């Protein structure tokens, strides 16, 4: 299937590793132009080198709305527009103290809002505008990552649906991908496997397919939803969870 992503202009936050890196690589493989941001300069340099300079990276703190606006504007100008926006950064925060809640709110929710808001003028000028938000199964069910992570991931699903209604007249499609357990060695599940193997084993056993997802499997869903192959799909939340969640979707 031709996804029709050739020459499309894409911005991705958190694009130096894990799911974000896989998203960047997938769009590049489809012939798109990609700009990405992350917090760590060394990680960005390593990613740019691994990608052989095919994508441009920048150091951006997504909780700094002005820095985000400046980066989006610069990326849009450098690429000659923006067609696809993928806010991917998460604080992965757990805990009940207010500082943790604030950090998660500013990163997971406001970081996505500021990125989309900054990109709206470019998206309105595009003939194939699409936003794909990255939520989580933790936004749908109460699990070990319930708060504040799960609460704010649930808010992202609502935000995506709201945007899809508001901007349908502008020709902007907005969808959400909710991954289940996604394993990569320097990610949260790699850390859990190393530090608390008994917890890792328990969580692994909850996956009906007997394994966790790869970042590439999430990236595939993102690319599909962003593409012309999904041109009549907007306002949906796509689970990529290997059957981990048990709730019936209506």
Report, as residue numbers or ranges, the catalytic residues: 135-136, 149, 153
What residues pair up with 134 in beta bridges, in sequence order? 177
User: What Å distances lie between residue 112 and 40, 52, 154, 199, CA to CA?
Assistant: 18, 28, 13, 30
Cα distance between residue 167 and residue 8, in whole Å: 20
What residues pair up with 12 in beta bridges, in sequence order? 36, 86
- Which pair of structure tokens corresponds to residue 159? 């935000």
φ and ψ of 179, to 5 deg:
-75, 155
Cα distance between residue 158 and residue 163, in whole Å: 9
Cα distance between residue 241 and residue 217, in whole Å: 10
């Amino acid at each position: 299937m031709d996804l029709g992503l050739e020459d499309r202009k894409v911005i991705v936050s958190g694009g130096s590793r894990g799911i974000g890196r896989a998203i960047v690589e997938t769009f590049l493989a489809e012939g798109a132009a990609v700009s990405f941001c992350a917090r760590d300069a060394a990680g960005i340099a390593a990613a740019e080198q691994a990608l052989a300079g095919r994508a441009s990276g920048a150091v951006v703190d997504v909780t700094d709305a002005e820095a985000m606006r400046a980066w989006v504007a610069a990326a849009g100008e450098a690429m000659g527009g923006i067609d696809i926006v993928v806010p991917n950064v998460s604080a992965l925060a757990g805990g009940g103290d207010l500082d943790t809640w604030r950090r998660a709110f500013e990163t997971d929710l406001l970081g996505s809002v500021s990125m989309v808001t900054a990109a709206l003028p470019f998206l309105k000028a595009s003939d194939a505008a699409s936003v794909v938000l990255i939520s989580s199964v933790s936004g749908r069910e109460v699990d070990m990552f319930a708060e504040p992570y799960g609460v704010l991931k649930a808010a992202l699903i609502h935000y995506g649906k709201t945007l899809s209604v508001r901007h349908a007249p502008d020709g902007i499609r907005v969808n959400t991908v909710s991954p289940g357990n996604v394993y990569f060695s320097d990610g949260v599940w790699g850390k859990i496997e190393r530090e608390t193997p008994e917890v890792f084993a328990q969580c692994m056993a909850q996956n009906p397919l007997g394994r966790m997802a790869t970042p590439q499997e999430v990236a595939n869903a993102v690319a599909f939803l962003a593409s012309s192959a999904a041109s009549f799909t907007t306002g949906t939340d796509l689970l990529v969870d290997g059957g981990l969640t048990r709730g019936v979707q209506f």
